[in-house]
Amino acid sequence: MVDKDYRQYQSQLIGKIIDAERAEAVAFIDALAQEVGFPTAISRVLDPALIEIGELWSREKLSLAQGYVAAKITEDVLLKAVESTAWKTETAHMHIPVVLANIEDDFHSLGRKMVSTFLQLSGWDVCDMGNDITAEEIVDKAVELHAPIIGVSAMMYTSALNIAKVRAEMDRRKLANSMKLAVGGAIFKVRASLVREVGGDGTAVSAIEAPQLFADLLHTIKR
Ligand code: B12
């Protein structure tokens, strides 16, 4: 299937979101996923549709209610994806724990939930701590679970700066050699230098690329 077709799917999905057709939208992606698999359906259709919905929302062309519908559709689809065993990868046996959270003061959960789903489906044992989690809580959890990687999401510049506290907490506990910090969210796409500014070890622009990033970071840990 070529890109042009996926753009048509995106437009159709956006139409359903705008019309608040939650069940129809979920069935629409589900049907596509049966054909091309959930990774492709999510990364090529749902993810770009959400970005466009986000832009419409930012320009006040969408209501908060429509944004809410988009979030609910995403959650429904991610649940279906997690329940589907059809696209587990060869790494699915790994069961390595990782901790994921939106940093303190950040409530943009959609991106994080997508990353969580893609990691789970690639075999990582994800502890998703949710929104607005402090650096200390995140590092405590990672230490408790012996997680070699922490993934932190932030959508806003101001909240992204709080990720530097996670790096400081890791450094304070001398964890730099045994634990890596993955960062991501819309703001890291527009300001690439932010990854280093907050002390991140790496980033990925979309959820589908997160498992590879985590695998790469795991390889950098001296065991
Ligand atoms: C939806 C939304 C909201 C919703 C969030 C609902 C929810 N349940 O998530 C609500 C209404 C709550 C909200 C609130 C606010 N928002 Co808002 N919001 C957005 C919007 C429109 C879309 C974000 C989104 O969900 N994108 C879709 C997801 C799928 O994409 P994504 O987040 O980029 O995630 C992908 C990648 O980045 C990556 N990724 C994400 N996390 C991670 C983590 C790791 C480790 C890795 C590897 C990868 C990764 O994978 C994801 C999937 O592919 C954006 C605009 C935009 N265009 O981004 C503004 C935006 C982010 N919001 C903004 C603002 C200012 C706010 C508010 C302050 C508004 C206000 N005045 O109250 C509040 C602050 C709340 C807070 N403290 O967090 C600004 C941020 C400005 C800035 N750059 O600093 C934006 C950019 C809008 C704007 N243009 O002004 N918002």
**Among protein residues, the one whose CA lies closest to atom 91 of ligand 1:** 108
- Pocket of ligand 1 contains residue 202 by CB under 6 Å: no
**Among protein residues, the one whose CA lies closest to atom 44 of ligand 1:** 184
User: Does residue 173 form part of some domain?
Assistant: yes
What proportions of the chain, in percent to the nearest 5, are helix, strand and coil? Answer: 60, 10, 30
How many Å apart are CA 90 and CA 80, to the nearest integer?
20
Q: Do residues 60 and 158 share a domain?
A: no
Q: Do residues 108 and 26 share a domain?
A: no
Q: Do residues 16 and 75 share a domain?
A: yes
Residues in the chain predicted with pLDDT less than 50, given as ranges, are: 1, 4
Q: What is the pLDDT of residue 130?
A: 97
- Pocket of ligand 1 contains residue 54 by CB under 6 Å: yes
What is the 13 CA–ligand 1 centroid distance (Å)? Answer: 20
**Among protein residues, the one whose CA lies closest to atom 34 of ligand 1:** 111
User: Does residue 110 form part of some domain?
Assistant: yes
Q: Do residues 63 and 106 share a domain?
A: no
How many Å apart are CA 201 and CA 223, to the nearest integer?
17
- Pocket of ligand 1 contains residue 149 by CB under 6 Å: no
**Among protein residues, the one whose CA lies closest to atom 55 of ligand 1:** 54
User: Does residue 136 form part of some domain?
Assistant: yes
Give the domain CATH number at 142: 3.40.50.280
Q: Do residues 35 and 120 share a domain?
A: no
Number of domains composing the chain:
2
What is the 71 CA–ligand 1 centroid distance (Å)? Answer: 11
Q: Which domain holds residue 26?
A: 3-83
Q: What is the pLDDT of residue 64?
A: 85
**Among protein residues, the one whose CA lies closest to atom 10 of ligand 1:** 108
Q: Do residues 14 and 110 share a domain?
A: no
Q: What is the pLDDT of residue 60?
A: 85
Q: What is the pLDDT of residue 79?
A: 86
How many Å apart are CA 34 and CA 41, to the nearest integer?
9
Q: What is the pLDDT of residue 82?
A: 80
pTM: predicted TM-score of the whole model, two decimal places: 0.89
Q: What is the pLDDT of residue 87?
A: 54
Q: Let me know: does 176 contact 204? Beta carbons within 8 Å.
A: no
User: Does residue 90 form part of some domain?
Assistant: no
Q: Do residues 79 and 114 share a domain?
A: no
User: Does residue 61 form part of some domain?
Assistant: yes
